[in-house]
A and B are shown apart, each in its own frame.
Chain A
Amino acid sequence: MHPDDRSDEPRDPFIERLAAQLREPVSLSPEVERVVLDRLRARPTQRRWPAVAAGLAAGIAAAFAAGLLVGRWTAAPPAGGSSVRPVEFALRTPADSAVVVVGDFNDWNPAATPLHRASDGVWSVTVPLRPGRYRYTFIVDGTRWRRDPAAPPALEDDFGAPTSVITIAQR
C-alpha cells in the first residue's frame, strides 16, 4: 500500500478492526493445486496456432448465409501492416440491458468490453487482437453465460460453463 494513500481519510478504528480480522489467514484446501495440475495435464494448452482462421471464417460466413447462426465474429485485414487485427464479436439476443464479452484478451474482465446494440438487434463490439488463440464468452444481462454460436466451443472445458474459441492466424 502506498503509505500516504489514505492520509486524506480519517482513520476509523472500527473499520481498522474489521480489516484486521479480514486480513487473518483463511483455510483453503491444498487440493487446489492438484486439481489444477490434473486439469492441465488432462487438457494441455494448444500453444500452436493452427492456420485455420481463414477457413473457419469462411465456414462461419457460409453458415451465416444459410441462416444457421445468430452470432458472428469477423477478423478484418490489419491496417497499415500492423499485426493487430480488429475483430468483431457479435451476438443476436433479445436482451435489452447489457451484453459484455469476457475472454483471454481482457483477462475475463466483465467491465472491460461491453457490446453495443444496433437497430437490427445485434450486439457487437470490435476488439483489436494480435495473432493467437483466445477463449471467450458472452455474459448477457449480467448473469447468463452464452457461448458464441458463430465460433467453435473451447475444447478445454475448464469451467463447466460455455466458452468459445477464436484463433487469429499469424500472417
Chain B
Amino acid sequence: MTASPSLLQVSPSDAELVRRVRQGDLDAYGPLMTRYRLRFGRYAYHLLGNESDAEEALQDAFTLAYRSLDRCRHPERFAAWLFRILVNRCRTTGARRGREQARRAPLEAADGIGVHHPSEEAMRREELARGLGRLVPEQREAFLLKYVEELSYEEMAELTGAGESALKMRVKRACERLRDLLSDTDAS
C-alpha cells in the first residue's frame, strides 16, 4: 500500500511515533491513530455498512496494532501494516456477527440532512450503500480495495492472500453487480 505524499511529509514520522510508543510513550499512539482514523475508517465504513461497526472495527484494529507493535518489522510502513490488520478485522467482524444479511443500508448523510426530506445527494449515498451491501463480502472487499483505496492487484494479493486472478474476477463481478443494481439510479 502506498502512503499519500501528504502523509509522507508529516512530522514526526510514523516510524518516530512507533519508536516512542515502543519505548512506553502511550500518548504518542494518539497522533498515529488520528493520522489514519478517517482514511482507514472510510474503508471500514463502506465495507461494514454503518458508522458504529466501522468505529468498532477501527478501535479493535488500533488496539490489536498497539498490542502487536513489537511485530511491526518496518515502522516506516506502519500504515500498510495497520491497514492489513484493519482489513482482517473487518473480515472477522463479519464472521463474528454473521450479520452480513442484516447489513444496515441507510447511511447518515454527512451533511446532516433529515430523514424526512433527504437530499438527492443523500439518496444517492443510500442507494450506493445498498448496492455495496448486496455484494458478497469478498466482492465488496475487492471492489473497495481496487477502486476506493486504489491498490494494485499485486498489493491486494499481498493484503488478502488471494490470487490476482481471483481478485480480478471479484472486482469484475462486483462492477457488473453494481451496474445491475444501480444503473437505474445512475450515481452521476
Bound Cα distance from A47 to B131, whole angstroms: 44
Bound Cα distance from A89 to B3, whole angstroms: 36
Question: Closest CB of chain A to B62's CB: distance in Å?
Answer: 5
Report yes or no: B29 in contact with A14, Cβ–Cβ below 8 A: no
A55 close to B (CB within 8 Å): no
A22 close to B (CB within 8 Å): yes
**With contacts defined as CB atoms under 8 Å apart, how many contacts are there between chain A and chain B in the complex?**
155
Question: Closest CB of chain B to A114's CB: distance in Å?
Answer: 11
Look across to chain B and name the residue whose beta carbon is closest to the beta carbon of A39: B63
Which residues of A sit under 8 angstroms from B187, Cβ to Cβ?
14, 17-18, 21
Look across to chain A and name the residue whose beta carbon is closest to the beta carbon of B66: A40
Bound Cα distance from A159 to B93, whole angstroms: 10
- B contact residues, total (Cβ < 8 Å): 64
Report yes or no: B59 in contact with A36, Cβ–Cβ below 8 A: yes
Report yes or no: B92 in contact with A40, Cβ–Cβ below 8 A: no
Report yes or no: A5 in contact with B152, Cβ–Cβ below 8 A: yes
Bound Cα distance from A18 to B45, whole angstroms: 15
Report yes or no: A110 in contact with B95, Cβ–Cβ below 8 A: yes
Of the A-B pairs whose beta carbons lie under 8 Å apart in the complex, a sample of 8, sorted by A's number, is: A18-B187, A27-B108, A32-B33, A32-B58, A33-B30, A107-B88, A144-B98, A158-B67
Closest 9 CB pairs of A and B: A143-B98, A1-B150, A19-B147, A2-B152, A28-B41, A5-B152, A109-B88, A33-B33, A108-B88
